[in-house]
């Protein structure tokens, strides 16, 4: 286990999120992992409004004691479609039943799209890693504004889409893509090398009662918060997901960056439905591609025990 006292070649990381319950757990995992030099956390609208997402992100940052990391507010709405939210999954505040307070530290000045462009263009090529756990609006707009970032970005890991798992916000679409399908289309067809964690992957990682109890038992502020959030998600899943245990979507992006060996991927192409009212946001994940030239890799298998072992290890810090 790395100590944050040990000088390591830390991975420059930008997280772009729509802080709801699982984004919050992903942020706690990242904030507690000394392998990362978190350049900033960018926000957009998604699970709840853009204003609530920015506030939620600052709340989690304060709980984790990481006010050294800037929170940079981004696009307040999707590129084309009207905003959609997922408050039924994340609670009215977006943070389940956590106590909501006005965080001490403000958001940074400036816009997340400019922040992403400035960080990627001012640092060595492929040195900035990007994890996207919400609608891809900020990244898509940054790619349009400054196409050079497409080749200059380091590893990009995105939670979004679905293939064999259908959908979670409508029958045929996953929320992050459904919320801004045009942004997803821009990103997935950009040629940027991306690893995608769709529902096919995240539905393999369930916050079971045993795993949630293990998180709570750690007793640190981060673990208490994560345990409360996961318990809230379990209550929602019991009601809305036919009694299933809640999937751990967004933390899988951070776990992939820390322990890629826990994940299996397959080369693919991803196209997004943007026109049909019935299937808007559907991701057509095509495996019949040349693996030597394909830019997208789809996560097909996850070692869920390994992901939770990592989460427990870091939340204990």
Catalytic residues: 249
Using CB under 6 A, pick the residue from 16, 18, 85, 231 that binds ligand RIB: 18
Give pairs for 121-127: CB < 8 Å, separation 24+.
121/146, 121/148, 121/149, 121/152, 123/12, 125/151, 125/152, 126/152, 126/153, 126/154, 127/12, 127/154
Pick 45 or 250: Cβ nearer Ca ion: 250
Q: Which two tokens stand for residue 86?
A: 């997922």
Q: Which of 23, 45, 180, 200 binds Ca ion (CB under 5 A)?
A: 23
| 39-58 positions binding ligand RIB, by CB under 6 A | 46-47
Rounded Cα gap, residues 58 and 270, in angstroms: 33
Residue 292 C-beta: closest distance to Ca ion, Å: 32
Residues 27/40, Cβ–Cβ less than 8 Å: no
Q: Which stretch binds ligand RIB (CB under 6 A): 18-26, 141-149, 185-193, 299-307?
A: 18-26
Residue 42 neighbours by CB under 8 Å, 6+ apart:
14, 15, 16, 17, 72, 73, 74, 112, 115, 116, 138
CB 174, min distance to Ca ion, A:
11
Restricted to residues 225-254, the positions that interact with Ca ion (CB under 5 A) are: 250
Q: Is 16 in the site for ligand RIB (CB under 6 A)?
A: no
Residues forming beta bridges with residue 129, ordered by sequence position:
13
For residues 173 and 281, the answer to whether their CB atoms sit within 8 Å is yes
Binding-site partner at residue 115 among Ca ion, ligand RIB, none, CB < 5 to 8 Å by type: none
Site for ligand RIB in 78-97 (CB under 6 A): 86
Selected range binding ligand RIB among 74-82, 145-153, 174-182, 292-300, rule: CB under 6 A: 174-182
Chosen from Ca ion, ligand RIB, none, partner binding at 175 (C-beta under 5 to 8 Å by type): ligand RIB
Longest dimension (CA), the chain: 53
Q: Is 45 in the site for Ca ion (CB under 5 A)?
A: no
Q: In the beta sheet, which residues pair with residue 72?
A: 42
Q: Residue 72 or 132: which CB sits closer to ligand RIB?
A: 132
What is d(CA 88, CA 13) in angstroms, rounded to the nearest whole number?
30
Helices (H) and strands (E) counted in the chain, each on its own, are 13, 9
Question: Which of residues 14, 20, 30, 183 is near ligand RIB by CB under 6 A?
Answer: 20
What SS3 string covers 7-18? CCCCEEEEEEEC
Binding mask 114-153 for Ca ion (x = CB under 5 A): -------------------xx-------------------
Q: In this structure, what token pair is assigned to residue 113? A: 């799209």
Residue 273 binds to ligand RIB (criterion: CB under 6 A) = no
Among 168, 185, 195, 225, binds ligand RIB (CB under 6 A): 168
The residue length of the chain stands at: 317
Q: List the one residue out of 227, 7, 229 whose CA is nearest residue 100.
A: 229
Smallest gap, in angstroms, from Cβ of residue 3 to ligand RIB?
30
Footprint on this chain of ligand RIB (rule: CB under 6 A): 18, 20, 22-23, 46-47, 86, 133-134, 159, 168, 174-176, 249-250
Footprint on this chain of Ca ion (rule: CB under 5 A): 18, 23, 133-134, 250
């Amino acid at each position: 286990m790395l100590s944050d006292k040990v000088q390591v070649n830390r991975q420059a990381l930008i997280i772009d999120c729509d802080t709801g319950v699982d984004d919050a757990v992903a942020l706690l995992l990242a904030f507690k992992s000394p392998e990362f030099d978190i350049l900033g956390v960018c926000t957009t609208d998604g699970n709840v409004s853009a204003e609530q997402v920015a506030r939620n992100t600052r709340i989690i940052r304060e709980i984790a004691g990481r006010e050294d990391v800037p929170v940079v507010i981004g696009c307040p709405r999707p590129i084309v479609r009207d905003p959609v939210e997922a408050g039924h999954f994340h609670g009215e505040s977006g943070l389940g039943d956590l106590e909501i307070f006005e965080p001490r530290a403000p958001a940074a000045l400036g816009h997340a799209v400019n922040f992403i462009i400035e960080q990627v263009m001012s640092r060595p090529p492929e040195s900035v890693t990007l994890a996207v756990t919400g609608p891809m609006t900020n990244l898509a707009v940054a790619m349009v504004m400054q196409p050079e970032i497409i080749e200059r970005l380091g590893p990009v890991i995105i939670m979004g889409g679905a293939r064999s798992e259908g959908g979670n916000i409508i029958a045929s679409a996953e929320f992050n893509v459904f919320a801004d399908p045009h942004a997803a289309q821009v990103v997935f067809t950009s040629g940027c090398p991306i690893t995608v964690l769709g529902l096919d992957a995240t539905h393999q990682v369930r916050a079971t009662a045993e795993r949630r109890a293990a998180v709570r038992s750690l007793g640190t502020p981060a673990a208490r918060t994560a345990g409360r959030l996961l318990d809230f998600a379990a209550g929602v899943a019991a009601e809305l997901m036919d009694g299933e245990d809640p999937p751990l979507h967004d933390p899988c992006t951070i776990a992939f960056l820390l322990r890629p060996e826990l994940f299996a991927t397959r080369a693919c192409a991803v196209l997004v439905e943007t026109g049909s009212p019935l299937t808007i946001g559907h991701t057509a994940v095509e495996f019949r591609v040349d693996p030597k030239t394909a830019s997208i890799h789809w996560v097909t298998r996850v070692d869920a025990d390994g992901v939770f072992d990592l989460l427990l290890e870091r939340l204990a810090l």
